[in-house]
Amino acid sequence: MMKVDIYQKLGLKRVINAAGTMTYLGSSRVSPRVIEAMNLILPEFVDMRELQQKAGSLIARATGAEAGCITASAAAGIAVATAACMTGSDLWYIEQLPDTASMRSEIIIQKGHSVSFGAGLAQTIRITGASCVEIGSATQCGCYQLRGAINDNTAALVYVASHHAVQSGLISLQDFCAIGAEYGIPVIIDAASEYDLKGFLACGAQLAVYSGHKFLGGPTSGIIAGCLPLVRACYMQEKGIGRTMKVGKESIAGVMEALEQWLQRDAGAIRTVEEQRIDYAFDFLKQFKGIHVERTADPTGNPVTRLKIHVHPTEAGLSAFELCQLLAAGNPTIRVRAHEADTGSFQLDPCQLLDGEMELVCEQIQRNLEAPVHPQLESTNPADLSYQSLIRWPD
Ligand SMILES: *Cc1c(COP(=O)(O)O)cnc(C)c1O
């Protein structure tokens, strides 16, 4: 059978993804094995409860947790985990949400953890009816502030392990979990894009939430792992707010296969290929005027090395921000990690590239540096730029 070019069929621009597992780019490449698992289950009926039970056993094996279940996404997992901490397994309560009368309904989070992953985490928590109590300041938070905020109405503490979060000056995971335990309040970890499947629970968190479609390479889905009473309460949310975030059989089967594959992967071999791509880009790009390249470790300790490219605007003839915009505007569109571009640098992530694509990325950077132009930008503020593009949709 001839392979259909999906870009051609749908009239889409080809995307070269040097940004990482970004949900706005379709998250990750799903492997043939995972696609096969989804193909096998799609034409059949299954007892969804039994399927979730099998997924739970696998999640337990992969994470060291007592139990687990699959959700529609990590964001759905966080909402459902929040709800579970308010309702427990009381179906009467589950059916009342987002009305939280006579339930504990405050969720505490450090201000530096109140991130946006495309949508705001605080809102993801609040759609359950919970209120989100942000403690400390954006860049500082102490244990005394967490202790001070805990009261009889506290349902859970949320901790975010992510490059989006502020990385210094905040309460450590260890202290955060210890204080949760001291007061008997469950800790939920947003570990959506963290490779470490065991560490957060081993540290004392009651629930850890992962994305199925990021590093794991599964279909759109989320994974909740944790203690049985709360995971059961998560699963039970399908009788309430969880229904609007329903996960399908194909996603459950797919992410189960992705998890199996992840456990069997040759992490060393994958890393070697990724580092070769970074080495290539380092050597290629270091020659250009106004460009400084640097290998950079993942801020939260995921085993990924990226290439950080500093752009000196007067020497290079254009800014980092402009270069990122030009790369994205090309065909194929080249997407880089541009979340720091307004401060003069961007990063290349090797994880989702195919063989030969890093070369294309480098060539396109070269072209833009050799004939620098200033693109017409409505704003250099990333949020405003995103807003400007949204309000023109579907154009
Ligand atoms: C990506 C991400 C999410 C959302 O994950 P989805 O599975 O796409 O819903 C939540 N939190 C953090 C920190 C993320 O990086």
Centroid of ligand 1 to alpha carbon of 162 (angstroms) = 9
CA distances from 209 to 155, 206, 216, 223, 234 (A): 17, 10, 13, 6, 11
CA distances from 169 to 5, 91, 326 (A): 48, 40, 36
Q: Is the distance from CB of 394 to CB of 51 less than 8 angstroms?
A: no
Q: Which two tokens stand for residue 267?
A: 């992490």
Centroid of ligand 1 to alpha carbon of 121 (angstroms) = 9
Q: How many CB atoms lie within 10 A of CB 76?
A: 24
> Reduced to 3 DSSP states, what percent helix, strand and coil does the chain have, rounded to the nearest 5?
45, 15, 40
pLDDT reported for residue 1: 59
Pinpoint the residues of the chain covered by CATH 3.90.1150.180.
Answer: 6-24+267-392
Centroid of ligand 1 to alpha carbon of 227 (angstroms) = 21
**Closest C-alpha among 182, 179, 104 to residue 144:** 179
Q: Is the distance from CB of 199 to CB of 50 less than 8 angstroms?
A: no
pLDDT reported for residue 380: 85
Which atom of ligand 1 approaches the CA of 222 most closely?
7
- DSSP letters, 63-78, are H--SEEEEESSHHHHH
Is the CB of residue 52 below 6 angstroms from any atom belonging to ligand 1?
no
- DSSP letters, 12-41, are PPPEEEES-S-GGGTSSPPPHHHHHHHHHH
Which atom of ligand 1 approaches the CA of 115 most closely?
13
Polymer length in residues for the chain: 395
Torsion angles phi and psi, residue 280, rounded to 5: -60, -50
Q: Whose CA is nearest to atom 12 of ligand 1?
A: 192
Is the CB of residue 23 below 6 angstroms from any atom belonging to ligand 1?
yes
Spatial neighbors of 239 by CB under 8 A, at least 6 apart, are 91, 94, 95
Centroid of ligand 1 to alpha carbon of 75 (angstroms) = 6
Tens-place pLDDT, residues 211-235 = 999 999 999 999 999 999 999 999 9
Whether pTM exceeds 0.85: yes
Is the CB of residue 302 below 6 angstroms from any atom belonging to ligand 1?
no
Which atom of ligand 1 approaches the CA of 212 most closely?
7
Q: At the top level of CATH, which class does the domain 6-24+267-392 belong to?
A: alpha beta
Centroid of ligand 1 to alpha carbon of 212 (angstroms) = 10
**Closest C-alpha among 164, 134, 167, 137 to residue 149:** 134
Spatial neighbors of 92 by CB under 8 A, at least 6 apart, are none
- Kindly state the DSSP code that residue 191 receives in the 8-state scheme: -
- DSSP letters, 380-393, are SSHHHHHHHHHTTT
Count Cα neighbours of 230 within 13 Å in the Cβ-side half-sphere.
Answer: 26
Q: Is 243 exposed, middle or buried (CB count within 10 Å of its CB: 0-12, 13-18, 19+)? A: exposed
Centroid of ligand 1 to alpha carbon of 216 (angstroms) = 13
Give the Cα-Cα-Cα angle 244, 41, 60 (nearest 5 degrees): 70
Ligand 1 probe mutation, 23, 167, 223, 349, most atoms within 8 A of CB: 23
Is the CB of residue 117 below 6 angstroms from any atom belonging to ligand 1?
yes
Q: Which two tokens stand for residue 170?
A: 């905040």
Which atom of ligand 1 approaches the CA of 161 most closely?
13
- The list of the chain residues with pLDDT below 50 reads none
Pinpoint the residues of the chain covered by CATH 3.40.640.10.
Answer: 31-264
Spatial separation of the C-alpha atoms in residues 346 and 367, rounded to whole Å: 17
Quick one: CA dihedral 94, 223, 201, 60, positive or negative?
Answer: positive
Spatial separation of the C-alpha atoms in residues 27 and 170, rounded to whole Å: 29
Centroid of ligand 1 to alpha carbon of 139 (angstroms) = 21
Is the CB of residue 113 below 6 angstroms from any atom belonging to ligand 1?
no
Task: Report the Cα 318 to chain-centroid distance in Å.
Answer: 30
Ligand 1 probe mutation, 28, 121, 162, most atoms within 8 A of CB: 162
Question: 31-264: which CATH topology?
Answer: Aspartate Aminotransferase; domain 2 (3.40.640)
Could you tell me where the DSSP H helices lie in 265-372? Answer: 267-285, 313-316, 320-329, 357-370
Spatial neighbors of 52 by CB under 8 A, at least 6 apart, are 69, 70, 235, 252
Is the CB of residue 311 below 6 angstroms from any atom belonging to ligand 1?
no
Q: Whose CA is nearest to atom 5 of ligand 1?
A: 74
Tens-place pLDDT, residues 342-378 = 999 999 999 999 999 999 999 999 999 999 899 988 8
Q: Which two tokens stand for residue 189?
A: 């970890």
Tens-place pLDDT, residues 17-46 = 999 999 999 999 999 999 999 999 999 999
